[in-house]
Structure 1
Amino acid sequence: MRKTRRTLLKTLVASLGCSALLQLVPMTAWAAEPEKEELKLGFIKLTDMAPLAIAYEKGFFEDEGLYVTLEAQANWKVLLDRVIDGELDGAHMLSGQPIGATIGFGTKAEIITAFTMDLNGNAITMSNAIWEQMKPNVPMVDGKPQHPIKADALKPVIEQLNASGKSFNLGMVFPVSTHNYELRYWLAAGGIHPGYYAPNKGDISGQIDAQALLSVTPPPQMPSTMEAGTIHGYSVGEPWNQQAVFKGIGVPVVADYAIRKNMSEKVFGVSKAWAEANPETHKRLVKALIRAGKWLDEDNNANRQEAVEILSRPEYVGADAKVIANSMTGTFEFEKSDKREVPDFNVFFRYHATYPYYSDAIWYLTQMRRWGQIAEAKPDSWYLETAKQVYRPDIYREAAAALIEDGLLSAGDFPAADEDGIRAPLADTIDGITYDGHAPNAYLEQFEIGLKGGTTL
């Protein structure tokens, strides 16, 4: 068995004694040791927790002198609370969670991230009954639906339900989740109002003026909740969209890659206080996670099948390997027998996926403003300043430099040194509206549905 660094040091201390060991090992080497070796990290049972599982299974954490316990959490709120309380050293988080906590929407806390865990990875699924009503409104090519399917096809279905006095109900995983914002984005692009929040008035339902009612449902419960008829559809990460296909209860209608290309999905979050108390430990965690992201994407996803087998274990995602493989290996099944190539459904390293871009944080802030979670107008400078409080590329770059020095990665694997943290403007969206992180207010002005300028509720 490979001896870990900790085991080796213990052996040396026992055999030589501390004073003799100090003569052999420079003080600088001791100073660089992690402040905390034993760590407990949280996650939710979704395939995009993969970097944590791979860093553990491939020994990347131990290579950094870290001895990690991975622990599944009941839901996103419990996970966040446990990071804030110090019960968890860090966790797989929704990209919006550190941002929402920092601005005080929901739980107020200082949470930072120096690592983006993945891009994309979600879809929107409708029940069979809703899909059958949508389908006549969807353009067909060679007998199959033309993708991406827009919410225009859903609008008459909702109008008919509302006319009969019934509400249209959709599930999403958390108020500051990507799933909430991409579902709202998709609906609004089709002329369907997803509702506003009004925290200043004590209304955090997100259903003011809504034509479609969105509410929170934990990811593993999405399929069963839809099957029971409580919700008509949902937005969630994998494997819970493919689970609906395998169970024959629903049809994914659009992958989030088609809503807004390469959207940051999850991050690795820690409390600011923890990061300040454990800078070397934090850097080493990021190093291990970067290596895991690279392993997941390298050689054109050659390692994905092995990753699927790991993730299918009950201690990780605990879903059937065939279900997980449907998205993790570069394909995605919409209707039964309609499996399509979607090589970037899950991205863990390509396109500098792991780098904590300020523009990713700014996009989430624009959506919080658009739907009322940020109640009042903010200047462009506020968006960037807030992003810099949460996203920490400085820590990421320290980890990257160490990996380059270790000979494990090269400089070409990372963004250029003069990168300003803002990705190039993106026009590859389902509504064709261009996002430029340098101009958040101008971006908001382009939407027909949503708050902008000085508008308040």
Structure 2
Amino acid sequence: MRNSIARRSLLKKTLTGLGCAAVMLLSPLSLQIAHAAAPEKDELKLGFIKLTDMAPLAIAYEKGYFEDEGLYVTLEAQANWKVLLDRVITGELDGAHMLAGQPLGATIGFGTKADVVTAFSMDLNGNGITVSNAVWEEMKKHVPMENGKPVHPIKADALKPVIEQYKAQGKPFNLGMVFPVSTHNYELRYWLAAGGINPGYYAPAKGDIAGTLSADALLSVTPPPQMPSTMEAGTIDGYCVGEPWNQQAVFKGIGVPVITDYEIWKNNPEKVFGVSKAWAEANPETHKRLIKALIRAAMWLDENNNANRQEAVDILSRPEYVGADAKVIANSMTGTFEYEKGDKREVPDFNVFFRYNATYPYYSDAIWYLTQMRRWGQVGEAKPDSWYFDVAKQVYLPEIYKSAAAELVAEGKAKAEDFPPASDDGFRAPTNEFIDGLTYDGRQPNAYINQFKIGLKPDSLL
């Protein structure tokens, strides 16, 4: 990676030195772009966590899409999500691969208070829930079977009697997730609650941010790459994480992924590309160009029915990116997913980077996260529907995305039909494609929260 960055710096210096001579050789389209507003900042450092879904950043770098936009990027792996967020806030990073809940959590002041925004959703789906071999052996007794194999999706109903056994023995049942405002936390809680298991509440007003009040299962933070070894050591009994760390448990023979997030909520939004609000306001042209490069990367990852995925796997397996065995990454990235060892099934949409308007920053996606923050007590008091809309519009910036997309269409690098129509209002259609069959309509957040049997009601207080 170091050599690639040096080569890109040399390219930049060479073009700068050519000056007018280089401009005379440009095509008419290139000349138009050259005369467009210049990026306010062209040397950038972007952060990521070693997960498969950082792929748009790696591909935009490796395929030269950042350079096409006049941007010279360094990609840098971060130790954990908190460090990554803090470095974006302080300006040490210009932007980063983020948990979708991080810009929202920061904006409303759960954890670190800061103004963080996003104009790009990085992917749909991509997570799973894995349990230890010992837990799986007990769960299997309660899972319907067909032709000797478990019937999917496996509901948390099958885990409930196992947790009850732990309680009877006076043992806590511990599960790992990656961060308090992570998709993984909310997906794990959603799955558990749908099976009658209370994952616990947060009470920040009382100084309790552990999220374990009244919990049947105790959820705690574990960094993604450490999930398999932490479970193998017996510290946790299972976890929810992105790839390749579910498949790693299968390859190591230490655990069994029991469900994917695609089965919990079909085509759920996952990561975003986040920047500080101050950075976005100071660098509007740079921001737009970054989004253009990332859109192109996402298109490349999904084009021709995922034809490029094996090449993406080879890139991601490098130590500077995800650094996991290519076979482990390929298990999910190329459209399959292995549950119990040997039980590999077709899941073509396990990782989606561009299909289904995956990259568009929908307000309704933001509002879903906020409803879960309220459901579990991270938002400690009742809020009117208007509050959810206002926060979503502070954090999600579809106008920047639309501007980037329009330029790609004008440049012949994308088609207008690849994107939502100009009239789109930022809300996906209501959906009931959840494990519990409940309907989510982003325009009615409080009515949605009121449907859940387990969780705070809109006007509840702890």
- TM-score, reference length from structure 1: 0.96
The residue aligned with 1:335 is: 340
CA distance in 2, matches of 1:67, 1:3: 7
Matches within 5 A, 1:53-64: 53-64=58-69
Q: Check 1:28–1:250 CA distance in 2 against 1; reply closer, same or farther (3 A cut).
A: closer
SS for the counterpart of 1:243 is helix
Q: Tell me if the contact between 2:103 and 2:116 (Cα under 8 Å) persists in the aligned partners.
A: yes
| CA positional deviation for 1:454 | 1.1
Q: Identify which of 1, 12, 21 aligns with 2:18.
A: 12
| CA positional deviation for 1:83 | 0.2
The residue aligned with 1:126 is: 131
Q: Check 1:104–1:29 CA distance in 2 against 1; reply closer, same or farther (3 A cut).
A: same
CA distance in 2, matches of 1:76, 1:341: 31
1:255 partner letter: T
| CA positional deviation for 1:9 | 4.0
Q: Is 1:449–2:434 an aligned residue pair?
A: no
Bigger shift: residues 2-11 or 102-111:
2-11
The residue aligned with 2:4 is: none
Q: Identify which of 394, 413, 426 aligns with 2:399.
A: 394
* Structure 1 vs Structure 2 CA RMSD: 1.9
Task: Show structure 1 runs of 5+ residues with no match.
Answer: none
SS for the counterpart of 2:19 is helix
Q: Identify which of 372, 379, 397 aligns with 2:377.
A: 372
Q: Check 1:26–1:402 CA distance in 2 against 1; reply closer, same or farther (3 A cut).
A: closer
CA distance in 2, matches of 1:34, 1:4: 19
Q: Identify which of 110, 118, 121 aligns with 1:113.
A: 118
CA distance in 1, matches of 2:180, 2:151: 30
Cα deviations by residue, 1:232-281 (Å, 9 ceiling, x for unpaired): 00000000000000000000000000001111110000000001110000
| CA positional deviation for 1:367 | 0.1
The residue aligned with 1:46 is: 51
The residue aligned with 2:274 is: 269
Q: Identify which of 163, 166, 187 aligns with 1:182.
A: 187
2:274 partner letter: G
Matches within 5 A, 1:85-104: 85-104=90-109
Q: Check 1:228–1:27 CA distance in 2 against 1; reply closer, same or farther (3 A cut).
A: closer
CA distance in 2, matches of 1:250, 1:3: 45
| CA positional deviation for 1:4 | 9.0
Q: Identify which of 196, 215, 219 aligns with 1:214.
A: 219
| CA positional deviation for 1:452 | 1.2
Q: Is 1:384–2:389 an aligned residue pair?
A: yes
Q: Percent identity between the aligned chains?
A: 78
The residue aligned with 2:310 is: 305
Q: Tell me if the contact between 1:5 and 1:65 (Cα under 8 Å) persists in the aligned partners.
A: no
Q: Is 1:153–2:158 an aligned residue pair?
A: yes
Q: Tell me if the contact between 1:40 and 1:70 (Cα under 8 Å) persists in the aligned partners.
A: yes
Q: Tell me if the contact between 2:374 and 2:458 (Cα under 8 Å) persists in the aligned partners.
A: no
The residue aligned with 2:240 is: 235
Moved over 2 A (4+): 1-9, 11-16, 25-31
The residue aligned with 1:247 is: 252
Cα deviations by residue, 1:98-128 (Å, 9 ceiling, x for unpaired): 0000000000000000000000000000000
Q: Check 1:28–1:212 CA distance in 2 against 1; reply closer, same or farther (3 A cut).
A: closer
2:296 partner letter: R
| CA positional deviation for 1:453 | 2.3
SS for the counterpart of 1:264 is coil
CA distance in 2, matches of 1:8, 1:404: 29
1:141 partner letter: E
1:12 partner letter: L
| CA positional deviation for 1:381 | 1.0
CA distance in 1, matches of 2:394, 2:142: 45
Q: Tell me if the contact between 1:5 and 1:63 (Cα under 8 Å) persists in the aligned partners.
A: no
Q: Is 1:164–2:164 an aligned residue pair?
A: no
1:418 partner letter: S
The residue aligned with 2:231 is: 226
Cα deviations by residue, 1:121-155 (Å, 9 ceiling, x for unpaired): 00000000000000010000111000000000000
Q: Check 1:352–1:26 CA distance in 2 against 1; reply closer, same or farther (3 A cut).
A: closer
Q: Tell me if the contact between 2:122 and 2:273 (Cα under 8 Å) persists in the aligned partners.
A: yes
| CA positional deviation for 1:33 | 1.0
Q: Tell me if the contact between 2:336 and 2:345 (Cα under 8 Å) persists in the aligned partners.
A: yes
Matches within 5 A, 1:424-435: 424-435=429-440
Count of aligned pairs: 451
The residue aligned with 1:347 is: 352
1:220 partner letter: P
- TM-score, reference length from structure 2: 0.95
Task: Show structure 2 runs of 5+ residues with no match.
Answer: 1-6
Q: Identify which of 75, 81, 96 aligns with 1:76.
A: 81
CA distance in 2, matches of 1:15, 1:348: 39
CA distance in 1, matches of 2:312, 2:19: 37
CA distance in 2, matches of 1:331, 1:113: 30
CA distance in 2, matches of 1:404, 1:307: 24
